[in-house]
């Protein structure tokens, strides 16, 4: 364990001790993290990351926690969040540059205000730009990598700008998992504001109609297998509505698990395991997790990931 007084000697951002991560995930599930930290600026971030790496102290990046399941025991280490000080979205030489802590909704709003088209698919996805770049989030036929030109990352202890051509983006992955994403530069065509706004509205309406948006969840639990849909497979396995403790496979969208009020991570994991086993027995397809597991021991991760 690194010492809090040592950290406080140089870290200028905010630190909360034993902060329950449930408050920082869209599932509203997760035990405490030793230190929840919001760096004051890039130098502060570089210093703390260097210190953690030198001292072999575990840390994770947390955006809006909308694509993760955090263990009931929490995470031994630090969680670093960039929403407070790294959330600027601006125009630079005609490109839209968005910092990692900015919400996707802020990015989409900014694009509409400035008549920049192409990111409307992200409307209604409750994550940050950093989380979307690392996950290569996507919807409605678009994905984050499409209009990205370059990404600024903290790699090792250096801040570097990586062109998209050097990043191995794929379906819900980026190869940036060992980096800390600081910002992304998007090159977007000009578009008619009203038309862009209309597309955003349509996408949000479609989400509201098909997803359990009024209950805590973490989006799609599994990736869609090639040529198929995880939701269709789980539905065909008769698991829609299946409950374990406070967790339930959504009646509205079978690839979502909702927290009906008092779900634990363990309830969710049991449903994940059940869905994987049943779909495999029924259809011979092994579903792969889309959400990231945080704070679970290796044997648990290996069972479901």
> Catalytic amino acids?
172, 220, 290
Question: Structure tokens of 264?
Answer: 């634990």
Question: Structure tokens of 162?
Answer: 């990586």
59 touches 51 (CB < 8 A): no
Q: How far apart are CA 249 and CA 136, in angstroms?
A: 24
Judged by beta carbon, residue 102 or residue 278, the one nearer ligand FAD is 102
Q: Mapping DSSP to helix (H, G, I), strand (E, B) and coil, where does residue 84 land?
A: coil
Using CB under 6 A, which of 48, 98, 135, 230 touches ligand FAD?
135
The region of 9-17, 134-142, 161-169, 243-251 touching ligand FAD under the rule CB under 6 A is 134-142
CB atoms within 10 A of CB 243: 13
Q: Which of residues 216-255 bind ligand FAD (CB under 6 A)?
A: 217-219
**CA-wise closest residue to 61 among 79, 87, 43:** 79
Q: Is 68 in the site for ligand FAD (CB under 6 A)?
A: yes
Give the nearest residue (CB) to ligand FAD.
63
Q: How far apart are CA 288 and CA 266, in angstroms?
A: 18
Q: Is 174 in the site for ligand FAD (CB under 6 A)?
A: no
Q: How far apart are CA 148 and CA 204, in angstroms?
A: 23
Kind plus residue range of the DSSP H or E element containing 294: strand 292-294
Using CB under 6 A, which of 15, 46, 117, 139 touches ligand FAD?
139
Question: Structure tokens of 117?
Answer: 């088209």
Give the residues across from 190 on adjacent strands.
Answer: 116
Q: Write the interaction track for ligand FAD spanning residues 7-46; mark x where CB under 6 A is met and - where it is not.
A: -------------------x--------------------
Q: Is 257 in the site for ligand FAD (CB under 6 A)?
A: no
Judged by beta carbon, residue 87 or residue 197, the one nearer ligand FAD is 87
* Smallest distance from ligand FAD to CB 144, Å: 7
Using CB under 6 A, which of 21, 98, 134, 145 touches ligand FAD?
134
Compute the Cα dihedral for 16, 81, 263, 58 and give only its sign. negative
Q: Is 301 in the site for ligand FAD (CB under 6 A)?
A: no
Q: Which residues bind ligand FAD (CB under 6 A)?
A: 26, 60-68, 82, 100, 125-128, 130-132, 134-135, 137-139, 180-181, 211, 213, 217-219, 292
């Amino acid at each position: 364990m690194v010492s809090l007084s040592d950290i406080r000697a140089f870290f200028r951002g905010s630190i909360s001790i034993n902060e329950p991560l449930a408050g920082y995930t869209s599932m509203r599930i997760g035990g405490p993290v030793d230190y929840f930290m919001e760096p004051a600026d890039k130098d502060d971030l570089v210093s703390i990351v260097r210190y953690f790496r030198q001292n072999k102290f575990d840390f994770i990046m947390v955006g809006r926690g909308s694509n993760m399941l955090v263990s009931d025991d929490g995470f031994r280490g630090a969680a670093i969040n960039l929403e407070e000080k790294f959330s600027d979205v601006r125009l630079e030489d005609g490109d839209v540059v968005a910092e990692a802590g900015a919400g996707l909704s802020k990015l989409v709003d900014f694009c509409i205000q400035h008549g920049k088209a192409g990111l409307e698919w992200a409307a209604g996805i409750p994550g940050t730009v950093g989380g979307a770049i690392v996950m290569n989030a996507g919807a409605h036929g678009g994905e984050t990598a499409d209009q990205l030109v370059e990404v600024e990352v903290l790699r090792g202890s250096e801040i570097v700008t990586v062109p998209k051509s050097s990043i191995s983006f794929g379906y819900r992955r980026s190869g940036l998992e060992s980096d800390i994403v600081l910002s992304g530069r998007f090159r977007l065509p000009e578009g008619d504001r009203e038309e862009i706004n209309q597309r955003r509205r349509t996408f949000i309406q479609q989400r509201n109609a098909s997803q359990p948006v009024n209950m805590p969840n973490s989006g799609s639990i599994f990736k869609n297998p090639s040529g198929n849909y995880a939701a269709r497979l789980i539905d065909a396995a008769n698991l829609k509505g299946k409950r374990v403790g406070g967790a339930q496979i959504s009646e509205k969208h079978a690839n979502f698990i909702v927290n009906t009020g008092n779900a634990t991570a363990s309830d969710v994991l049991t449903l994940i395991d059940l869905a994987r086993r049943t779909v495999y027995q029924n259809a011979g397809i092994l579903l792969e997790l889309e959400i990231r597991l945080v704070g679970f021991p290796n044997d648990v991760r290996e069972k479901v990931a």
